[in-house]
Amino acid sequence: MSISLEQVTKHYGGVPVVNDVSLDIADGEFFVLLGPSGSGKSTLLRAIAGLIAVDHGRISLHGRDVTHVAARKRGVGLVFQNYALFRHMTVADNIEFALRVRHMRARRRRERRKELLRLVALEGMDDRLPAQLSGGQQQRVAVARALAHKPEVLLLDEPFGALDAKIREELRRTIREVQRELGITTVLVTHDQGEAFAMADRIGIMNLGRLLEIGAPHDLYSRPATRFVATFLGAANLFLARQGGDGIQVGAARIATHEQSAEPREHEVVAVVRPEEVTVAATPAELGGGFVAQGVVDEMVFSGALERLRLRLENGGGAPLLATADAAAPPYLEVTRTQHEQRSFELHPGQSVAIGVRRVHVLPTPLSSFAACAASAPDAETLARQPLLTELAARMKTRIAVRCEPQLGMEQAGRGGAAAFVGATVIASEPGAAQRAAWLLQRGAREVLVLPAQAAVPHRVLIHWLGEAARAATLAVSESVLRHVPAEAVYAGIPPQGAADVAPELARRLAEAPAQLLIVGVTDLARFAERFSPLLDGGRWPVLVVHRATS
Amino acid sequence: MSFRKPSVLPGFGLTFGFTTFFLSAIVLLPLAALVLAAASMHWSEFVAVVSSPRALGSYRLSFGASALAASINLVFGFIIAWTLVRYEFPGRKLIDALIDMPFALPTAVSGIALTTVFARHGWIGRYLEPLGVQVAYTWLGVTLALTLISMPFSVRAMQPALLELQRELEEAAETLGAGRLYTFRRIILPTVLPALLTGFTLSFARAVGEYGSVIFIAGNLPMKTEITPLLIVIHLEQFDYRGAAALGVVMLLLSFVVLLTINLLQAWNRRRHVQAAH
């Protein structure tokens, strides 16, 4: 492995900017770190370069542990967004800087410089000063300078950010050619997915300091595992769908899937439909299958090769569409059509159409949506407006349903009749909450979030499970939560002799610091209310209970 | 006017007029009067005044101590400016404001304060005395006073340049294998050199013209601790206006030569780095 990161973590002012990142990059690989600004990708790159000391974790370059090695001894080349050329030096002196530092003889320096200038297509520019070069040329000099000392790793920090589109394209090609010719392991940081697609062998996507997913561009685009990656990498329409043994139900459409579900029982999932996988026609019959719902054309934008449409689904169409980029705006369906599709069926704004989908990808995310549940409708609605809940839902790009259960927590209530509980059910943390949580879990709710009225976005997520059957599910749910909050994860290990008093022990740990969230996995519901009363009945912290029965 | 260029703000003619008028009335006219006053002397008389041993001694002290003070400020002004720009520490704003104190203080007050501290029985002077170091009433005291009053000029001249200095330059040098000293010598220093020179020039100019603070701590011994401005005042007190004017002209010329040299040095340095950039 050229570059190997193990659990690298960096905090700034108590906030993890890079959070537990592990990554292996192979020899000669072109790896792109992609993420929005503030996702920690530049910090991670600087940590690899040695310009930032990490708080925790290990960094190895070619099998050598360099975690505590100074930047100048790491043998890396770094290229900056603003070129960072030495402006009082000529191009030649800039490129030879690293060679001078190493006391290389003048003749050999000159040979190396000529070779590098040829590589970046700047022959004959030796005696120019940076101020006499265009932005693209300056960045070429910066690349040549970074390669002069034959580094084992080339690091590029948004190298095209300050250039205009055409120059960018050219420089991209040059860098890719240079990288192939030298076979040098390269890491590029960018927020531009087009750039990532064009250059990467593999892409790693970062958000809130975490490395969410790693994969080849095509795999990440067609089979993202998380909501963030699905929506950040290209446009995506997110639906709440139902997955059963024989396919996925999106609105009126039942779509066969090859992706196997771990859960045989029908359950709610988040489905991704790419804009190019949506079809429109005048009637459902003309769609040729995959009819989801009726819709109205809201907006049409011509953008060259493709036509971009926004469609509004008519009364939900039985397929709850999740808000896309902007959570405040009513959700709409994004569609792109090729010229050919446009010619065969012309559209105009306001037109009513039948909408179908060709391909659906189901995200393996365990938390599909939230349902705020209380005994009376006003209470449920108040709960649905709880700040932490709305914040979480917005970050997860999902919805909060309101559910009124008049018999919530009453022991004599029957077990049948009620509609299945889908997604995570949310109840208020107050006396009797443990009893209510037990009531919900017994009736099929798989995740119950007990939420106090005042709760902040957690800085720390405490994880614990009782019983091995709940382990996998608890970890999956924790992972899902941690993707959306910049918190550190702590497994709360409890010694066996204390196992009987797990709840008080967990409550004690929650009381240690503010802004914590507990995720606890349970298998056995016997005496649940009694056992978990210290944690749930009026606690000041949010607790997410994950229940999986022993099979 | 052929050198007029379109600008957002109107009124080039008017502003150019004000510029020439103010420069003439406030700077050039008094200077011309000074030269005229001296010119009414006979040549031999002029030479006798400006080349008397006492006058020569005062030039040496004035320009020597000023150059020394500006040099001290070059080094320590840079360090102060660097600290203020690069580090975040409690009280930074306060120290930043303190830098300007010598600007606002009447220079006589600075002189009295320094004398109190460095005189034989002063707070610091009493410890220096046994070591054989005497500050007050020696050239050391003169240099100290000039350093104090010209310090803000060098700090304030360097601060903006250090603020603009990209951290990436140092980071680039570091990843290329350069050590700290090498990076400082080859990257930071050449980049901020113009600002350093400006700081030096301003400090030097301020120090040469200083009078108030020096007379208290210098002791004013002819040939030893007498600066040129003081000698001028002594001539004035004896109603020897022409002698004072003659010394003034010499100061003017010497200062002008020094400042011009530094400015030319700067221009040359600038040209070297961005030669034919356009």
Residues B93-125: tens digit of each pLDDT: 999 999 988 888 888 898 888 888 888 888 888
User: Would you say residue B88 has pLDDT above 80?
Assistant: yes
- Architecture field, domain A234-363: Beta Barrel (2.40)
Which residues have a Cβ under 8 Å from the Cβ of A307 and sit 6 or more positions away? A300, A301, A336, A337, A338, A339, A341, A342
Contacts of A50 in chain B (CB under 8 A): 174-175
Give A146→chain B minimum CA distance, Å. 7
Phi, psi of A357, deg, nearest 5? -125, 145
Q: Judge: A74–B175 Cβ closer than 8 Å, yes or no.
A: yes
Tell me, yes or no, whether B50 lies in a domain: yes
Contact state of B166 with A101 under an 8 Å Cβ cutoff: no
Task: Characterize A347-379 residue by residue with b for buried, 16 or more Cβ atoms within 10 angstroms of its Cβ, and e for exposed.
Answer: beeeeebbbbbeebbbbebbbbbbbbbbeeeeb
The interface residues of chain B toward chain A in range 174-193, judged by CB-CB distance below 8 A, are: 174-179, 182, 186-187, 190-191
Q: Do B174 and A80 touch (CB under 8 A)?
A: no
Euclidean distance between CA atoms A189 and A118, whole angstroms: 25
Residue that is written with structure tokens 């220096």 in the block: B128
> Poorest-confidence range of A64-68, A310-314, A316-320, B195-199?
A316-320
- Confirm if A464 and A440 have CB atoms less than 8 A apart: no
Interface-testing mutation among B175, B188, B192, with chain A (most A C-beta atoms within 10 A): B175
Checking if the pLDDT of B278 tops 50, the result is no
Contact criterion met (CB < 8 Å) for B177 and A86: no
CA-nearest residue to B170 within chain A is: A84
Could B175 and A148 be called an inter-chain contact, meaning their C-beta atoms sit closer than 8 Å? Answer: no
Judged by DSSP in three states, B211 sits in coil
pLDDT at A470: 87
Q: Which of A51, A74, A84 has its CB closest to that of B166?
A: A84
Decide if B109 is inside a domain. Answer: yes
**Interchain contact, A129 vs B274, CB within 8 Å:** yes
What is the location of CATH 3.40.50.300 in chain A? Answer: 3-222
Is residue B143 in a domain?
A: yes
Kindly identify which residue of chain B lies nearest to residue A156, measuring between CA atoms: B172
A194-239 per-position pLDDT tens digit: 899 999 999 999 998 999 999 999 999 999 999 899 989 888 888 8
Burial A254-276 (b: 16+ CB within 10 A, else e): ebeeeeebeeeeebbbbbbbbbb
Q: Are A536 and A543 in contact (CB under 8 A)?
A: yes
Mean pLDDT across A129-139? 92
Residues forming a β-bridge with A24: A4
H or E stretch at A291 = strand A291-303
ipTM, interface predicted TM-score of the complex = 0.79
Residue spans of alpha helices (H) in A385-448? 387-395, 433-442
Per the CB < 8 Å rule, is B166 touching A149? no
What is the count of structural domains for chain B? 1
Using a CB-CB cut-off of 8 Å, the residues of chain B touching A70 are 174
Taking the C-alpha atoms of residue B273 and residue B7, their distance in angstroms, rounded to an integer, is 28
Residue B65 lies in a domain: yes
Distance CA B148, CA B213 (A): 9
Q: For B175, which of A49, A131, A132 is closest by C-beta distance?
A: A49
Provide CB contacts within 8 A for B3, sequence distance 6+.
Answer: none
Does the pLDDT value for residue A327 go beyond 70? no
**B173–A97 C-beta distance less than 8 A:** yes
Helices (H), A270-386: 284-287, 339-344, 377-384
Strand pairing class (A56-61; A64-65) = antiparallel
- CA dist A322 to A49, A239, A272, A411, B103, Å? 40, 6, 10, 35, 64
Closest CA to A423 of A467, A373, A482, A461: A373
Average the pLDDT over A335-347 and give the result: 89
CATH of the domain at B145: 1.10.3720.10
Residue A102 in contact with residue A149, Cβ under 8 Å? yes
B54 is in which domain, residue-wise? Answer: 43-272
Give the residue on B whose Cα is nearest the Cα of A98: B176
pLDDT digit string, tens, across residues A3-43: 999 999 999 887 889 999 999 999 999 999 999 998 999 99
* B73 DSSP 8-state letter: H
- Check pLDDT > 90 for residue A252: no
| Count of CB pairs separated by less than 8 Å, A with B | 76
Task: Identify the pLDDT of residue A104.
Answer: 93
Does a structural domain hold residue B23?
no
B106 within a domain of the structure (yes/no): yes
Q: Name chain A contacts of B161, Cβ cutoff 8 Å.
A: none
Contact A72 B179 (CB under 8 A): yes
Nearest 5°: CA angle at A346, between A341 and A347? 115
Q: How many C-beta neighbours within 10 Å does residue A539 have?
A: 25
Angle between helices A433-442 and A528-536 (to 10 degrees): 130
CATH 3.20.20.100 fits A3-222, yes or no: no
B26 assigned to some structural domain: no
By percentage, how much of chain B surpasses pLDDT 90?
38
For residue B189, the distance in angstroms to the closest alpha carbon of chain A comes to: 10
